[in-house]
Amino acid sequence: EQVQTASGTGTGVFVGTVPLTTTTATGGYSLKDASRGGQSTSDLKNRTSGSGTLFTDTDNAWGDGTAANRQSAAVDAQFGAAATWDYYKNAFGRNGIKNNGVGATSRVHYGRNYVNAFWSDSCFCMTYGDGANNLNPLTALDVAGHEMTHGVTSATAGLNYSGESGGLNEATSDIFGTMVEWSADLPADPPDYLIGEEIDINGDGTPLRYLDKPSKDGGSADAWSSSVGGLDVHYSSGVGNHFFYLLAEGSGAKVINGVGYNSPTSNGSTVTGIGRDKAAAIWYRALTVYFTSTTNYKAARTGTLSAAADLYGAGGAEYNAVAAAWSGVNVN
């Protein structure tokens, strides 16, 4: 049977109005993207298991921007999966999470009042709760990129999800979730170095995490210490997130897209950034060539230096910036 792709439009809770590649189905369309490995989104209908029901629509105009419309969160999830697919393809030539052309599925409306989202290797899927009051879904673009990147990490370095390797696993998801947001560059979600700022999970406008100064979340580490491996992986990730911000943007204060950042180094040194695209390329090469399941922060320094040497030359400006950024988070 021939798959007929169609050009739809969706209005998500967070992504605004965006194009969606869909599939013609009996009586209309299904939310499945044959141009990106068959990625699709299904409705769990507040259950916590099963593959849910594939979203369908009669006119190929999906969602209305409100969380009360069941399709709106699905638009966010489906667009997030597409943007993440496109980021890995365009930046690194990676053809899906496993680099085999196969797309992942997304499930929305998991349980009730569930304030989280997660990746699962076993279903090769991302799952999103509807958050507080069941009307605040966790489907922001950086979160979609974060969750899907857990699949990439699992398919490559396989960083164990505890101790320092767990912090590196989480940082990898925050770094590429951020890169997905920058690559999509949506008017409805201007890119930044914050995670989950669109969700307002704390009810006071603050994001889940800050890459420039991770301790602003009240728990994350700004720099390495011998106790960092004992923290929750969403806090030990701060060392890697702060390294990435310093490498991309440099130390000190600046305003980007109207958001103020201030990123002091732990040793008082000044770091000059090399830009986020080069910083991401170095992290991606380290993840896919040098990191293993047991890589710790000291080994991440070595691996990213090797990656920088491969890509830009040993002893060049990029290589030296990697060394300086790690020293700026006390990884020596």
As measured in angstroms, the least distance from the Cβ of 144 to Ca ion is 11
Selecting among 234, 242, 249, 318, the annotated active-site residue is 234
Contact set for ligand ASN, span 115-134 (CB under 6 A): 116-118
Q: Let me know if 1 is a catalytic residue.
A: no
As measured in angstroms, the least distance from the Cβ of 170 to ligand ASN is 6
Nearest residue to ligand ASN on Cβ basis: 118
As measured in angstroms, the least distance from the Cβ of 151 to ligand ASN is 11
Our finding on whether 56 is near Zn ion (CB under 5 A) is no
Distance of CA 102 to the CA centre of its chain: 19
Site string for ligand ASN, 134-153 (x = CB under 6 A): ------------xx--x---
Our finding on whether 287 is near ligand ASN (CB under 6 A) is no
Q: Decide if 300 contacts 244 (C-beta within 8 A).
A: no
Q: By CB neighbour count within 10 A (0-12 exposed, 13-18 middle, 19+ buried), where does 145 fall?
A: buried
For residue 45, what are the contacts with CB-CB under 8 A and spacing of at least 6? 52, 53, 109
As measured in angstroms, the least distance from the Cβ of 170 to Zn ion is 5
Going 219 to 220 to 225 to 229, the CA torsion angle's sign is positive
Give how many residues touch Ca ion by CB under 5 A.
Answer: 4
Picked from ligand ASN, Zn ion, Ca ion, none, the partner binding residue 117 (CB below 5 to 8 A depending on kind) is ligand ASN
- Binder of Ca ion out of 194, 208, 247, 279 (CB under 5 A): 194
Q: Which is nearer to ligand ASN, 92 or 118 (CB)?
A: 118
Picked from Zn ion, ligand ASN, Ca ion, none, the partner binding residue 194 (CB below 5 to 8 A depending on kind) is Ca ion
Q: Let me know if 150 is a catalytic residue.
A: no
Our finding on whether 83 is near Ca ion (CB under 5 A) is no
Site string for ligand ASN, 150-169 (x = CB under 6 A): x-------------------
- Binder of Zn ion out of 136, 172, 173, 306 (CB under 5 A): 173
Paired tokens of 18? 């965006």
Q: Which is nearer to Zn ion, 235 or 319 (CB)?
A: 235
Q: Write down the residue that tokens 């380290």 correspond to.
A: 286
Distance CA 314, CA 141 (A): 35
Q: Decide if 295 contacts 168 (C-beta within 8 A).
A: yes
Distances in Å between the Cα of 174 and the Cα atoms of 80, 182, 293 are 14, 12, 18
Residues of the shown chain interacting with Ca ion in the complex, contacts defined by CB under 5 A = 142, 181, 192, 194
Catalytic residues: 147, 234
Residues of the shown chain interacting with Zn ion in the complex, contacts defined by CB under 5 A = 173
Residues of the shown chain interacting with ligand ASN in the complex, contacts defined by CB under 6 A = 116-118, 146-147, 150, 170
